[in-house]
Chains A and B, each alone.
Chain A
Amino acid sequence: QVQLVQSGAEVKKPGASVKVSCKASGYTFTSYGISWVRQAPGQGLEWMGWISAYNGNTNYAQKLQGRVTMTTDTSTSTAYMELRSLRSDDTAVYYCATSSGYSFDYWGQGTLVTVSS
């Protein structure tokens, strides 16, 4: 069965960077894209961007352009999301999800990133 297992919770200071990993299993990694979605405490879902696990093509939400980078390592079936210049409003649970078409089919368990001085 498809499984996405994410890295553990992080606490960062404002201005720092964070890199969250998402290890996939149960399917051919390069068959699907990986999207990243975040959810601030008590708030709704926000789409952050997408990466093709096949060729590494990316597309990011406009508001995060310049601060976010999504990558994949096909040798380990792992996707990564790095967010730089962290601010307090980046505090959120970050999810990875497979994208086979125009939906998010399978989700990771989420990674809490807390930005606090």
Chain B
Amino acid sequence: QSALTQPASVSGSPGQSITISCTGTSSDVGGYNYVSWYQQHPGKAPKLMIYDVSKRPSGVSNRFSGSKSGNTASLTISGLQAEDEADYYCCSYAGSSTFVFGTGTKVTVL
């Protein structure tokens, strides 16, 4: 199972919007509506930000949104804030009770 492909880094100024892509195949991202996104600050455990492609857990800011088209899922952060600077990982169900993570994207707030 190959890791999903994410850009290594994305940056933006405070207040701007950025989008992180997550490209897989028809066996994972394209085959199921079970993409999730995780935020990880340095030295901390990951935190669930989006599940089932576009659903937000309770307590997660509505500045975070998710979508999917074909084999590519996306996470958009609007109104970028300094606290959003972190690593972000996508994850997709890949069938047969297995999961695959993305390669990770470092978000920098300029």
Contacts and interface: CB of A to CB of B under 8 A. Distances in A.
Given A95-B46, A104-B38, A44 B51 contact: no
Interface stretch (A9-17, A24-32, A105-113): A105-113
Interface in B50-74: 51-52, 57
Interface string A69-102: 0000000000000000000000000010100011
B90 to A, nearest CB: 10
Contacts, number: 65
B103 A109 contact: no
Contacts of A59: 96-98
B45 interface: yes
Taking residues whose C-beta sits less than 8 angstroms from the other chain, chain B's interface range is: 20 to 34
Interface in A29-88: 35, 37, 44-47, 50, 59, 61-62
Contacts of B47: 107
Nearest to B93: A102
A59 B64 CA distance: 31
Given A44-B103, A102-B34, A107 B52 contact: no
B7 to A, nearest CB: 13
Given A47-B98, A50-B97, A103 B1 contact: no
Interface string B72-89: 000000000000000001
Contact of A103 (B40, B48, B103): B48
B30 interface: no
B100 interface: yes
5 contacts: A61-B1, A102-B32, A103-B36, A103-B52, A105-B57
Interface of A: 35, 37, 44-47, 50, 59, 61-62, 95, 97, 101-110
